[in-house]
Amino acid sequence: MQKNIVIIGAGITGCSLAHFLANTGWDVTLLESQDDIASGGSGNPVAAIYPKFMLNDKAYNDFMLKSFMFTTAWIDKLGLNKDDYRFDGAIEILEEAYSHKLEINFSSGSVDQEKILISIDKPILKKYLMNQDLSGLLFHRGGWVNPIALCRHLVNHSNIKVLTNQKIISIEKLNNEWTLKTKNQKIFKSDHVAICNAAYLHQFDLTQHLHTDAFRGQINWVNSTPFQMPSIVICDEGYVAPLMQNKHIFGATYGMNDFNKDLRLSDTKKNIASIKKIHREFHNYCLAQKTISGRVSWRASTKDRKPYVGRVFNNELFKKMRVRELAQTDQLPWLDNLYVASGFGSRGFTFAPYCTFVLANLINKKLSKDDKGTLNYTNPERYRLKKMSLKKAASRIFKV
Ligand SMILES: Cc1cc2nc3c(=O)[nH]c(=O)nc-3n(C[C@H](O)[C@H](O)[C@H](O)COP(=O)(O)OP(=O)(O)OC[C@H]3O[C@@H](n4cnc5c(N)ncnc54)[C@H](O)[C@@H]3O)c2cc1C
In whole angstroms, what is the distance from residue 95 CA to residue 1 CA?
A: 54
CA–centroid distance, residue 282 to ligand 1 (Å):
28
pLDDT at 109 over 70: no
Based on the domain organization, do 18 and 38 belong to the same domain? yes
Cβ of 13 closer than 6 Å to ligand 1, yes or no, is yes
Residues 311 and 379 in one domain: yes
Last residue of a domain, one of 283, 299, 315: 299
How confident is the model at residue 110, as a pLDDT? 63
Res 183: pLDDT: 95
Residue ranges making up the domain that contains 117? 91-140+213-299
pLDDT digits over 382-400, tens only? Answer: 999 999 999 999 999 999 9
Q: How far is the CA of 309 from the centre of ligand 1 (A)?
A: 15
Residue 71 maps to a domain:
no
Band (pLDDT 50/70/90 cuts) for residue 102 is confident
Q: Read off the pLDDT of residues 24-72 as tens digits, 9 standing for 90 and up.
A: 999 999 999 999 999 999 999 999 999 999 988 999 999 999 999 999 9
Q: At which of 299, 330, 361 does a domain end? A: 299
130 & 220 share domain: yes
Q: Say what percent of the chain tops pLDDT 90.
A: 86
Residues 133 and 252 placed together within one structural domain of the fold: yes
Among 144, 180, 299, 308, which is best to mutate for testing ligand 1, by the most ligand atoms less than 8 A from CB? Answer: 299
Digit-coded pLDDT (tens) for 189-228:
999 999 999 999 999 999 999 999 999 999 999 998 888 8
How much distance in Å is there from the Cα of 148 to the middle of ligand 1?
11
37 lines ligand 1 (CB under 6 A): no
Q: Is residue 263 part of a domain?
A: yes
Are residues 370 and 267 both part of a single domain? no
Q: Give rounded-to-5 percent helix, strand, coil for the chain.
A: 35, 25, 40
Mark whether 282 and 349 lie in a shared domain.
Answer: no
Q: Residue 244 is part of a domain; what is its CATH number? A: 3.30.9.10
User: Ligand 1 centroid to 288 CA: how many Å?
Assistant: 31
Q: What is the mean pLDDT of residues 113-126?
A: 89
Q: Is 329 in the pocket of ligand 1 (CB under 6 A)?
A: no
**One-character DSSP codes across 63-118:** HHHHHHHHHHHHHHHTT--GGGEE-S-EEEE--HHHHHHHHHHHHTSSS-HHHHEE
Domain end residue (candidates: 261, 282, 299): 299
Q: Looking at residues 145-162, what average pLDDT do you find?
A: 98
Using alpha carbons, select from 205, 376, 242, 209 the residue that is nearest to residue 306.
376
Domain count, the chain: 2
pLDDT tens per residue, range 325-336: 999 988 899 999
Task: Kindly state whether residue 285 falls inside one of the protein's structural domains.
Answer: yes
For the chain, the distance separating the N- and C-terminal CA atoms, rounded to the nearest angstrom, is: 26
For range 117-127, the mean pLDDT:
91
Site to probe by mutation for ligand 1, drawn from 44, 233, 261, 275 as the one with most ligand atoms within 8 Å of Cβ, is 44
310 lines ligand 1 (CB under 6 A): no
Question: Is there a single domain that holds both residue 316 and residue 365?
Answer: yes
Q: Exposed, middle or buried: residue 256 (CB in 10 Å: 0-12, 13-18, 19+)? A: exposed
DSSP state of 309: E
250 and 220 in contact (C-beta within 8 Å)? yes
In a domain, residue 288? The reply is yes
Question: Separation of 353 CA from ligand 1 center, angstroms?
Answer: 13
CA 356 to centroid of ligand 1, rounded, Å: 14
Ligand 1 centroid – CA 147 distance (Å): 10
Q: With a 6 A CB cut-off, is 197 part of the ligand 1 pocket? A: yes
Residue 49 lies in a domain: no
Q: What is the pLDDT of residue 101?
A: 80
Dihedral sign for Cα 297, 300, 306, 307, please: negative
Contact 61, 38 (CB under 8 A): no
Is residue 78 included in any domain, yes or no? no
144 pLDDT band, cuts 50/70/90, is very high
Same-domain status, 353 and 205: yes
Do residues 164 and 36 lie in contact, with contact meaning Cβ atoms separated by under 8 Å?
Answer: yes
Residue 104 has pLDDT above 90, yes or no: no
Q: Is the CB of 299 under 6 A from ligand 1?
A: yes
Q: Residue 52: CB within 6 Å of ligand 1?
A: no
Distance CA 48, CA 250 (A): 11
pLDDT at residue 108 above 70? Answer: no
11 C-alpha to ligand 1 centroid (Å): 6
Q: Are 203 and 112 in a shared domain?
A: no
- What CATH code is carried by the domain that includes residue 23? 3.50.50.60
What's the pLDDT score for residue 308? Answer: 98
Among the residue ranges 77-91, 92-106, 169-183, the one predicted with the least confidence is: 92-106
239 and 126 together in one domain = yes
Please indicate, yes or no, whether residues 270 and 365 belong to a single structural domain of this protein: no
Is 10 a member of any domain?
A: yes
- 126 domain-assigned: yes
Both 377 and 275 in a single domain?
no
